[in-house]
């Protein structure tokens, strides 16, 4: 059987750095081009060979065999530095226990309560926007999703300074994840400014969340939030639940999973609607028909079909996590090649989602493609698949759908420039410097200023 060395290597590798230069310059173009070289392609991340899986059927084989293709690789190594051994980063031998302990947090009976928090915060934020205001969309959505995740995780909102520090630290982590993933490990140990800031961000986050977890465990009451469900969960036959350290790991995991990635998805969705006003109009009419003058809530989700399809299509074009990795826990065969134990295996949802042989007009935003679609099992993987599929997928889709509905119900979105929008590629995909102007619909906003005045104030600042 051919070995890993027989797998074709992607062009552009250089000694010591491997493919770090093209990955840093334009990683999306690189991973999208790999399918031209085979179903499996070798890349170099630093000094390590990585087998990139380009074929959807092979990706599914990897995802369904999580015992052999275990969580691991540069991304998850960096994740464990910050998040510890949480549900996203833990290896196979810990996953089943931790997943069972997390299930109560996402029980359907709790989703309505989470949704009420989400819609209340989305409504509160959108009421503060002003007629003609030019939004820094990513900043706005980060502030919103941090507050949503903090409130659903911890019930009560953190002090503004604490929430702002959490946001800043997560941005440092998300930027650091990708940089530290693609460079040789030796460079991550150099006491540079970036490495020091990365370590300090981890230290601050763990201290902040640790204090909150300790207080909640001492309290012992069920506050109806995610953290109460995590603290109260026990194993089979009353076996002990998570330790204090594990609760910190999981709280950090949920904070990370529910903030930057959802903020990115909402930002891309707002951008796409600003470019397609006819779809934005459909979403507006659907939301108004569903809510009939009352605030959106969990009961409206079934009626928000187009709004949900916009989120699905956004995740197809711009999956929040654009590349994922696994590591072989034992010698494994894949597509006729023998992979030794410890081989890093990678795949890109972004590349799969944009393949023209899998999706009609793959680069075109078309939320209507989801009506009656039944051919996406292997070719649509924004939340991964198999036993390690994201447990919070329903939470994330609920959060994004209700937030987008709340935004569109009050504001029209329009671009302020015709320049192409480029992604900022970190561990997730975020639109770079996205600015949108908001124009009030029928209901007048709380404050009115001229569009020109708003832009002038922001430019002066």
For the ranges 86-95, 165-174, 367-376, 438-447, which has the lowest average pLDDT?
A: 438-447
Most confident of 180-189, 194-203, 258-267, 432-441: 432-441
Provide the pLDDT for residue 178: 67
For the ranges 24-28, 78-82, 227-231, which has the lowest average pLDDT?
A: 78-82
What percentage of the chain reaches a pLDDT higher than 70? 92
φ/ψ (deg, to 5) at 361? 45, 60
pLDDT digits (tens, 9 = 90+) for 433-459: 999 999 999 754 444 333 333 433 333
Provide the pLDDT for residue 373: 64
- Kindly state the average pLDDT of the residues 112-124: 93
For residue 386 the two structure tokens come to 């198999």
- Kindly state the average pLDDT of the residues 251-263: 86
- What is the pLDDT confidence band of residue 157, given thresholds at 50, 70 and 90? low
Q: Is residue 353 over pLDDT 90? A: yes
> Sign of torsion, CA 188 189 191 196?
positive
Range of the domain at 129: 4-460
Quote the number of domains for the chain: 1
Provide the pLDDT for residue 461: 31
For the ranges 192-206, 290-304, 370-384, which has the lowest average pLDDT?
A: 370-384
pLDDT digits (tens, 9 = 90+) for 19-77: 878 888 899 999 999 999 999 999 987 678 999 999 999 999 999 999 999 998 777 77
- What is the pLDDT confidence band of residue 220, given thresholds at 50, 70 and 90? confident
Encode 149-167 in three state secondary structure: HHHHHHCCCCCHHHHHHHH
- Kindly state the average pLDDT of the residues 158-168: 73
Provide the pLDDT for residue 329: 96
Closest CA to 115 of 281, 268, 301, 288: 301
Provide the pLDDT for residue 457: 32
- C-beta separation of 391 from 229 below 8 A: no
437 Cβ partners below 8 Å, 6+ apart?
A: 132, 133, 134, 135, 413, 414, 415, 416, 451
Q: What is the pTM of this model?
A: 0.87
How far apart, in whole angstroms, are the C-alpha atoms of residue 329 and residue 340?
9
Provide the pLDDT for residue 152: 87
270 Cβ partners below 8 Å, 6+ apart?
A: 137, 141, 404, 407, 413, 434, 436
- Kindly state the average pLDDT of the residues 201-213: 87
Provide the pLDDT for residue 430: 92
Q: Is residue 107 over pLDDT 90? A: no
15 or 276, which is more confident?
276
For residue 327 the two structure tokens come to 């590591």
Provide the pLDDT for residue 225: 83
User: Collapsing DSSP states into helix, strand and coil, what is residue 292?
Assistant: coil
Provide the pLDDT for residue 270: 98
User: Facing residues of 455 across strands?
Assistant: none
Q: Which residues of 45-77 are buried (b: 16+ CB within 10 A; e: fewer)?
A: bbeebbbbbbbbebbbbbbebbebbbbbbbbbb
Q: Is residue 128 over pLDDT 90? A: yes
Q: Is residue 287 over pLDDT 90? A: yes
The CATH number of whichever domain residue 256 belongs to comes to: 1.10.630.10
Provide the pLDDT for residue 126: 96
User: Within a 10 A sphere around the Cβ of 164, how many other Cβ atoms?
Assistant: 13
The secondary structure of 310-353 as a DSSP string is: HHHHHHHHS-SS--EEEEESS-EEETTEEEPTT-EEEE-HHHHH
φ/ψ (deg, to 5) at 171? -65, -40
Q: Is residue 122 over pLDDT 90? A: yes
- Kindly state the average pLDDT of the residues 230-250: 85
Q: If you average pLDDT over every residue of the chain, what do you get?
A: 87
């Amino acid at each position: 059987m051919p070995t890993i060395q027989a797998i074709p290597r992607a062009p552009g590798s250089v000694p010591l750095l491997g493919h770090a230069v093209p990955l840093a310059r334009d990683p999306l173009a690189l991973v999208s081009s790999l399918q031209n070289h085979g179903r499996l392609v070798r890349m170099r991340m630093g000094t390590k060979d990585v087998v990139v899986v380009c074929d959807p059927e092979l990706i599914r084989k990897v995802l369904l065999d999580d015992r052999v293709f275990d969580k691991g690789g540069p991304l998850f190594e960096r994740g464990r530095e910050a998040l510890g051994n949480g549900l996203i980063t833990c290896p196979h031998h810990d996953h089943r226990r931790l997943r069972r302990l997390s299930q109560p947090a996402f029980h359907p009976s709790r989703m309505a309560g989470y949704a009420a928090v989400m819609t209340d915060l989305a409504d509160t934020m959108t009421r503060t926007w002003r007629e003609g205001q030019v939004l820094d969309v990513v900043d706005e959505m980060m502030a919103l999703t941090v507050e949503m995740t903090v409130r659903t995780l911890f019930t009560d909102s953190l002090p503004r300074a604490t929430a702002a520090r959490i946001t800043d630290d997560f941005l440092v982590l998300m930027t650091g994840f990708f940089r530290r993933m693609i460079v040789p490990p030796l460079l991550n140990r150099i006491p540079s400014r970036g490495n020091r800031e990365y370590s300090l961000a981890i230290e601050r986050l763990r201290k902040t969340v640790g204090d909150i977890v300790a207080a909640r465990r001492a309290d012992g009451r069920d506050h109806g939030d995610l953290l109460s469900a995590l603290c109260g969960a026990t194993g089979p036959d009353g076996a002990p639940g998570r330790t204090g350290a594990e609760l910190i790991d999981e709280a950090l995991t949920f904070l990370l999973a529910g903030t930057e990635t959802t903020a990115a998805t909402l930002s891309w969705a707002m951008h796409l609607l600003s470019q397609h006003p006819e779809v934005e109009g459909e979403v507006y009419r659907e939301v108004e028909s569903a809510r009939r003058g009352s605030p959106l809530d969990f009961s409206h989700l079934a009626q928000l079909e187009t709004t949900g399809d916009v989120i699905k299509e956004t995740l197809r074009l711009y999956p929040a996590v654009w590349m994922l990795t696994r590591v072989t826990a034992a010698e494994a065969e894949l597509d006729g090649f023998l992979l030794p134990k410890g081989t890093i295996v990678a795949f890109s949802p972004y590349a799969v989602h944009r393949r023209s042989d899998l999706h009609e007009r793959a680069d075109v935003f078309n939320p209507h493609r989801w009506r009656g679609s039944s051919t996406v099992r292997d070719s649509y993987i924004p939340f991964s698949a198999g036993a390690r599929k994201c447990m919070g997928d329903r939470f994330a889709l609920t959060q994004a759908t209700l937030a987008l509905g709340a935004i569109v119900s009050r504001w029209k979105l329009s671009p302020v420039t015709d320049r192409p929008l480029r992604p900022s590629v970190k561990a997730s995909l975020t639109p770079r410097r996205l600015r949108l102007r908001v124009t009030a619909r029928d209901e007048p906003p709380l404050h009115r200023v001229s569009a020109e005045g708003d832009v002038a104030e922001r430019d002066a600042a």
